[in-house]
């Protein structure tokens, strides 16, 4: 029968034993002197394009106007008109979203140390992704030009406040997740 003291001693020793089995701190090397795997790179947390489709969709000014319909006091007809503009916009941007997906894969760093060719491929994919995002945002601007006339003056003034905040956040997101390109 185990006493309480033995249980406490065993619980205190478990982390020590587990640490010893892992090899402790070996400066990024396995016990055999091999480099440890970089799990951040494997999980896609290092390098590549971190900008998701959702991030780009959140930059849509028409989507913002629809989301803020209560704050803007939009009528049902106005919301319907904005949703029509949004559906046409999604259709127009669909090829760009597919291209962005492909570029995300092309920009991922390899599991090994990247060669010069790998680095060139990744940089090219990032530059192209920046151009694709710029195209999508250009389409967003065109759709906003269609959407704003559907609002009355009061709604337009309030919408411009929301849109300015969204534009600043979009710039920050692009800078953070696409490496400074906008």
Residue 38 lies in a domain: no
With contact defined as beta carbons under 8 Å apart, do 89 and 60 qualify?
yes
Instruction: State the Cα–Cα distance between residues 122 and 48, nearest whole angstrom.
Output: 7
Most confidently modeled range among 12-16, 163-167, 175-179: 163-167
Count of domains for the chain:
1
How far is it, in rounded angstroms, from Cα 102 to Cα 74? 38
Tell me how far apart the 2 most distant CA atoms of the chain are, in Å.
Answer: 82
Residue 162 covered by a domain: yes
Residues of the domain holding 97? 50-177
DSSP 60-84: -HHHHHHHTHHHHT--HHHHHHHHH
In a domain, 116, yes or no: yes
pLDDT tens digits, one per residue of 71-83: 999 999 999 999 9
Render pLDDT for 8-49 as a digit per residue (tens, 0 to 9). 666 666 666 655 555 545 555 565 666 666 555 555 455 678
Q: pLDDT tens, 124-163?
A: 999 999 999 999 999 999 999 999 999 999 999 999 999 9
The pLDDT score that the predictor gives to residue 12 is 66
Q: Is residue 37 part of a domain?
A: no
Residue 164 lies in a domain: yes
- Residue 45: inside a domain: no
Asked whether residue 1 is domain-assigned, the answer is: no
């Amino acid at each position: 029968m185990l006493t309480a003291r033995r249980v406490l001693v065993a619980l205190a020793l478990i982390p020590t034993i587990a640490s010893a089995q892992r090899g402790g701190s070996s400066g990024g090397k396995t016990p055999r002197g091999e480099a440890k795997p970089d799990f951040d790179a494997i999980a896609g947390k290092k390098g590549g394009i971190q900008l998701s489709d959702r991030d780009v969709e959140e930059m849509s000014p028409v989507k913002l106007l629809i989301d803020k319909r209560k704050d803007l006091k939009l009528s049902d007809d106005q919301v319907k008109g904005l949703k029509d503009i949004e559906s046409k916009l999604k259709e127009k941007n669909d090829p760009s979203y597919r291209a962005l997906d492909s570029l995300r894969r092309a920009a991922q760093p390899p599991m090994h140390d990247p060669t010069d060719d790998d680095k060139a491929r990744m940089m090219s994919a990032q530059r192209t992704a920046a151009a694709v995002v710029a195209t999508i945002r250009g389409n967003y601007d065109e759709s906003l030009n269609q959407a704003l006339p559907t609002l009355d003056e009061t709604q337009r003034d309030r919408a411009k406040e929301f849109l300015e905040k969204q534009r600043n956040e979009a710039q920050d997101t692009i800078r953070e997740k696409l490496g400074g390109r906008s």
